Amino acid sequence: MTNIAVATTSQLAADAAHEVAAAGGNAVDCALAASLLTMNTEPGVCALAGSAFITVWQEGSDPITIDGNVAVPGAGLAVSDRGLGTINVSLEYGGGISTLVGPGSVSIPGSLAAFEHAWKKYGAATWQSIFAPSIRATRDGFPLSAACHYYLGYSGDVIFGRSEDGHNALHQTDGSLKSAGDSIVIPHLSDALDAISREGARLFYEGEIAAAIADHCRVGEGMLTRKDLATYRAIERQSLRADIGGWSIATNPAPAVGGAVLTAMLMACSDLPDRSWNKSTLQQLIDTQCACLDFRKRHLDLAEDVGSEAAKLLESARSGRLLSRWTSASTVQTSVVDSMGTGCSITASSGYGSGEMPSGTGLWLNNCLGEIELNRRGLDAGPVGSRLPSNMAPSIARRDGSVLAVGSPGADRITTALQQFLINFLLFEMPLDDAIAHSRVHIDTSGTSVRLMAEPGLDLPDTGLTLNEFPNLVMYFGGVAAAVYDEAKGLAAAADPRREGGTCIYEH
């Protein structure tokens, strides 16, 4: 048995990891158990029928990232059957967003395939024991988190009221949204999870659940077919690696864009003149974000070959050319390390949610095809089976005697949140909690002009950009979860104060 440290989205999820550790689970088992629980008990924020990336790095082995990203559906469909079945929804959430929901917004979900792949390759616990905490929580009821309640305040009716079971689970009998802390029971969800725990992911991709999901989407003119689900496979990739401040970092490789953007941001800040945040270091940080996020918007988001464009970005950062032009959008995260030196980081998302729940399954489906700001290609986003764009960047960092697992939710703030945490922890050598809680900045390129978003307490330089300074630390700037094992200092874990989070350390 090994000792573990866990940082994740909720204390309920951290407790699930603790339970699996006590049953003999390793870092990967515990990360899977915590992630499964948070994906199934954070309605609106995430769901099982979405995407996930899993980065694992064992002592003495090369790191890998398991790609369970959502993919373009439509196997066997005629051209005339594509691009239908959506509704455009506008929400005041996050200052105002537009997204597409309905059956036509649903892409091929990959989370469960990635989880089973990781378990078969690395797991020490049983598949059923990994599911047990989630089955129990969804059967007996779980508290509605404040983060979920906040998002559902905007989307509970217009998106998550689209199914009768979903609406009833989230609302009082008078139609009002349940309060934060109220117990939530989603009909049929625990039964679906129990069946998957006994029969494996096959049931979700080829069995009765697969049929229910695909048939529901096709009846609503969506593109997801039974063949899409039956032919989906998680892909094992060599992680993208870079050396920063004596640490080697492994993160999400192409075709996802998050890992390349994060790595370029870190490379461009590896020579910061000071080991603290002042006007000079903040200026360099802001410049790197401007350059990297601009490159992503102009080159990566619409690239036919993301790998070659990502290589150009990394070479530009490595050579110092990256900054030359600038000097003249719902995710959950689990990070686990163990005393054997294994790190496992899992980031998962289901977009803003399609609002679709096939009858009898309890499973909300993703709307990743309808995430307009991320999937800029639209509903017909490429060849059937190709992966959609993703900012997710679950990462592992290692140096002699130490391993760190880290990641963050936060749409396009994922990479900037991780950039600043990793600089704080790896380069500035701040304590883990301080490295996460330190005020952050983010360059917002979503509108017609570039804006500097900032939390309070920073000695900001005069950038010439429009400044939006927040009065407090806010969840807009991500939700870093980090766990570290050091041979000399032992285990530690910390969750972001910007979001509800949970940690645990299991030692026996």
Give the pLDDT confidence of 88-144 residue by residue, as tens digits: 998 887 667 788 999 999 999 999 999 999 999 999 999 999 999 999 999 999 999
As a whole number, mean pLDDT of residues 132-157 equals 93
Name residue, tokens 């899409």. 228
Q: Give the whole-number percent of the chain exceeding pLDDT 90.
A: 70
Residue 21's pLDDT is 96
**What is the spatial distance between Cα 228 and Cα 470, in angstroms, rounded to a whole number?**
44
| Residue 279 in domain | yes
| Residue 6 in domain | no
The answer on pLDDT for 281 being more than 90 is yes
| Residue 200 in domain | no
Convert the pLDDT of each residue in 240-261 to its tens digit.
999 988 999 999 998 888 888 9
| Residue 362 in domain | no
Lowest model confidence (mean pLDDT) among 64-68, 134-138, 368-372, 420-424: 368-372
The dihedral sign for the CA sequence 376, 453, 494, 504? negative
Residue 293's pLDDT is 85
- Decide: 141 and 230 in contact? Cβ < 8 Å: no
Residue 326's pLDDT is 38
At residue 321 the predicted structure's pLDDT band, cuts being 50, 70 and 90, is low
- Decide: 40 and 213 in contact? Cβ < 8 Å: no
Residue 361's pLDDT is 97
| Residue 228 in domain | no
Question: Any residues with CB less than 8 A from the CB of 368 and at least 6 apart, and which?
Answer: 50, 51, 70, 105, 106, 107, 349, 350, 351, 374, 375, 388
Convert the pLDDT of each residue in 53-70 to its tens digit.
999 999 999 999 999 999
As a whole number, mean pLDDT of residues 348-371 equals 93
Residue 329's pLDDT is 41
Convert the pLDDT of each residue in 167-198 to its tens digit.
999 999 999 999 999 999 999 999 999 999 99
Domain limits at 324?
Answer: 254-330+410-485
| Residue 124 in domain | no
The answer on pLDDT for 228 being more than 50 is yes
- Decide: 204 and 68 in contact? Cβ < 8 Å: no
The answer on pLDDT for 226 being more than 50 is yes
| Residue 490 in domain | no
The answer on pLDDT for 214 being more than 70 is yes
Convert the pLDDT of each residue in 3-30 to its tens digit.
999 999 999 999 999 999 999 999 999 9
Residue 1's pLDDT is 64
| Residue 170 in domain | no
Tokens representing 345 are 């980081």
- Decide: 461 and 452 in contact? Cβ < 8 Å: no
Phi, psi (degrees; rounded to nearest 5) at 174: -85, 5
- CA within 13 Å, CB half, 61: 16
- Decide: 317 and 264 in contact? Cβ < 8 Å: yes
DSSP 459-480: -----SSEEEE-SS--GGG---
The answer on pLDDT for 323 being more than 80 is no
* H-only helix segments in 141-225: 146-155, 164-170, 189-199, 202-205, 208-219
Our count of domains for the chain comes to 1
At residue 324 the predicted structure's pLDDT band, cuts being 50, 70 and 90, is very low
